[in-house]
Amino acid sequence: MNTAPNMITFLSRQTVTAATPMILAGVGELVGELSGVINIGIEGSMLMGCIAAYTVTGVTGHGTAGLLAAMVTGMVMAVIFAAATVWGRADQIVAGTAMDLLGVGLSGMIWMMYQNWRENLGFSTALPHGSGFSPLAIPLLRDIPFVGPAFFEQYLLCYLTICLCVGVWWMLNHTRLGLIIQALGDAPEACHAAGVRVRLGRSMCLLFAGTCAGAAGAYLSIMQTHAFAADMTGGEGFVVLALVIFGRWKLPGLVGGCLFFGLINSLQQTLQTARYTSQNSVLHALTHVPFQFFQMLPYLAAIAALAVMSRNSPGPRYINIPWPSAKT
Amino acid sequence: MATLPPALRLSEIQKSFNGVPALDGVSLEVAAGSVHGILGENGAGKTTLMNIIAGLLRPDSGSMEIMGNAAPVGSVRESRAFGIGMVHQHFKLADNQSVLDNIVLAVSKSLWSRRGRGVLQNIDYWCRELNWTLELQKPVRELGVGQQQRVEIIKALCGGGKILILDEPTAALTPAEVDELSSAVAGLANAGMTVLFISHKLQEVTRMCRVISILRRGKLVYSGGVAGLSMQQIAEKMVGAKVDVPRLVQPLGHAESRVLLELQSVDYRIGKREPPLLSQINLRVHAGEILGIAGVDGNGQSELAAVISGTVDPVAGRIMRSGAARADAPANSACIPEDRHKEALVPALPIVSNLLLRKYRHRPYVRWGFCRFGKWRTSAAALMRQYDIRSRGIDDAVCTLSGGNQQKVVLARELSDAPEWILAVNPTRGLDVGATAFVLRQLLDARARGAGIILIHGDLDELLSVSDRVAVMRGGKLLATPWPQFTRELIGRMMLAGA
């Protein structure tokens, strides 16, 4: 850890690892917002994804089953949210807050029940050996300096996320489906006149977003950590909301924002460890700083970046306006 | 020709909103290859009927036949498959997307293909047919209203439209654009299209259509040829009563009475380096006269209105209001702004609040700092009767009213306290025959009472019929016209000279 190249390799790899779940949840949230629905409850959906993936993997011993369960759970959360906002015309901010609280509470409750149940049966609550995912290195490509370990020694879901990003970017910019999704949030009456069913379209976008959030939750619990803890998303769902604005509702901007957040996050983790091991007196002096301060840094950076970058951001015009909208 | 089935046949279409009938058993036949005018006042049900034909609304009962085949109602896709294309009054375009993307969005069937060659060829074909050029890559928001309308028409045609519905297509167009549109409509009819032309402007409809149908309060009251009907007869059928367009009998030339409003060498510009929007404006409004100001839109009329009402300050010159140089319009003046929704009304508030906007904090509407809603309501109810505002009650949000009734709310608020002078900007824009007559009559009543009125108006015929004197705005300058020889032709020339 004392040579600079090692350090860069380590940091870049950590950055991608930390950014992946946010990119995944962010792509979904972006599509949802473009269609005119903001879901501020993705934190809740991610947490439900975490617990679903963890418990199903724990019971079945198959990580893939856990991942699928997380995606289905995210979809179920999206169905509830879509029913309330798209079909029931509920305010999206209020309904989203409710979805967040639901996710936090329900995932914690399921976690306690799961622990009791497993312990009564005499099982461990830890994941069965080998059931969680491990990083999947791609031969040859992993040997590229710096970039190799960052992008080619990751979990399978990270590769899928990269493919998803490319696919969604292409879809948004080069297909009629992309036009429809953007028009849903910007000019739903144009969609309606074109024979596109606005509420159905928005519901589909929300289902996609929910699936993504669920998968992002699975990434946190059965890939990155192999553990579950209450509130383990730590506000990442909300940071994703900010990063969508930061990226001005464009996919490349969103991905860049997520990587930036991931970089700050891995920097603060490195700093936390380095202050104890380093001989450098300045770094060593940081041992007196509480660790929470370091944990706060990425969020501070997110707020600062948002304040600087998001002036006059032109978001979709029909966010939080239910269809059919009252005239004038 | 006689054997050809009608392009469109509607039978017994019935539709009501929240229990209020909007269409009451409308049956209608439209011959193939014709330009068919649909006339009616605001709120007569024209747009509702067209939305039903286009599949955007589902009627409560009734059926539709297209080219002799029974067509399902209430589905945009089905209507389009049967060849219905609709151009809405308020365009349904995605502003941020390009012209081509808007057309692809509406026309293509595939979810994936975005650059379909078929679409491009189709656009090209219709553009050549109509002799139009479209900048396909430009975002729609950068186009003018006339161009946006062309995008809508091309969109409808490319979607396989055989029956084209144009809903109030001329409402936002300049006279030159109206002429171009009417030649395009004639061209479409020659190419075998059937065009349904909806309007409340009689002159246009009688010029463009040979067959008209007239709706009144949800009922079809006339359907047949235009020939042999006078304007007066058509207007009566629309309104259901005799209409006389108010006209000033004895215009005053040079009023001797008190000067109520005077502008002395007023200049206005936005930035120091910008060209002036108003330069050297001198005008006087006397008690008991209507000063009409004509001009092509965008020659400084909006700025003049803003300066007079006191919403902006002139950079030079003096404004004397009611004989005093003061910055704001005094309480005894009235302003009927250009944009009802943005400047005159709070659309989401109920009628009662909108009527009391100017005096809610004066006695007797408030006492000890508390609103006296009872007084509000009795006062508002009286105004609604007096000005014939039609709604279900004074608690309805203003945005649920028709355009004519919204304007009546504005008039009731502004004119009920006998203001000394009145500024009115395009007060009849978008109103039907009956409501227009009502508004002009109110202005003439105010004049008879001794108010001084400055009327900035885009409709030259109406302007000439009620004004004592007329001036023309051109390029930010105010040009006086000789009195009393101001004729339509002379003023038209002055409006356009050198432009």
**Chain B residues with beta carbon closer than 8 angstroms to that of A168:** none
Q: In what side-by-side order are the strands of the sheet with B333-336?
A: B333-336, B421-425, B452-456, B290-294, B469-474, B477-480
- The pLDDT profile of chain A, 328 residues, written as one tens digit per residue, is 456 677 888 888 889 999 999 999 999 999 999 999 999 999 999 999 999 999 999 999 999 999 999 999 999 999 999 999 999 999 999 999 999 999 999 999 999 999 999 999 988 888 888 888 888 888 888 888 777 888 888 899 999 999 999 999 999 999 999 999 999 999 999 998 888 999 999 999 999 999 999 999 999 999 998 899 988 998 899 999 989 988 889 999 999 999 999 999 888 888 888 888 877 788 778 788 888 888 888 888 888 877 877 666 678 989 999 988 764 3
Whole-prediction pTM value?
A: 0.77
What is this model's ipTM?
Answer: 0.84
Question: Domain range spanning residue A228?
Answer: 4-309
Residues of chain B whose beta carbon is less than 8 angstroms from a beta carbon of chain A are 54-56, 75-77, 80, 86, 88, 92-97, 101-102, 104-108, 110-114, 341, 347, 399
Q: DSSP assignment, residue B340? A: I
The answer to whether position A323 is within a domain reads: no
The answer to whether position A219 is within a domain reads: yes
Are the C-beta atoms of residues A77 and A46 closer than 8 Å to each other? no
**Chain B residues with beta carbon closer than 8 angstroms to that of A177:** 111-112
pLDDT on residue B251: 67
The 10s digit of each residue's pLDDT in B200-220 is 778 788 888 889 999 988 889
pLDDT on residue B331: 67
First vs last Cα of chain B: how many Å apart?
Answer: 48
Name the token pair of A257: 């924002």
The answer to whether position A320 is within a domain reads: no
How high is the mean pLDDT of chain B?
A: 84
The answer to whether position A274 is within a domain reads: yes
The answer to whether position A322 is within a domain reads: no
* Domain count for chain A: 1
Mutate to test the interface with A, among B77, B105, B114, B120 (most CBs of A within 10 A): B105
Which amino acid is present at B186? A
The 10s digit of each residue's pLDDT in A294-310 is 888 888 888 887 787 76
How high is the mean pLDDT of chain A?
A: 90
Domains of chain B in sequence order = 8-239 (3.40.50.300), 245-332+418-499 (3.40.50.300), 345-416 (no CATH)
Are the C-beta atoms of residues A213 and A74 closer than 8 Å to each other? yes
CB-based contact A175 B93, cutoff 8 Å: no
Q: Smallest Cα–Cα separation from B31: which of B167, B165, B193, B215?
A: B193
Q: Smallest Cα–Cα separation from B119: which of B94, B146, B142, B101?
A: B101
Q: DSSP assignment, residue A146? A: T
pLDDT on residue A105: 96
pLDDT on residue A201: 96
- Please report, for the domain that includes residue A237, its CATH number: 1.10.3470
The answer to whether position A242 is within a domain reads: yes
**Chain B residues with beta carbon closer than 8 angstroms to that of A321:** none
The answer to whether position A317 is within a domain reads: no
CA distance A156 to A300: 31
Name the token pair of B26: 């409308």
Which amino acid is present at B427? P
The answer to whether position A318 is within a domain reads: no
Q: Quick one: what percent of chain B has pLDDT higher than 70?
A: 94
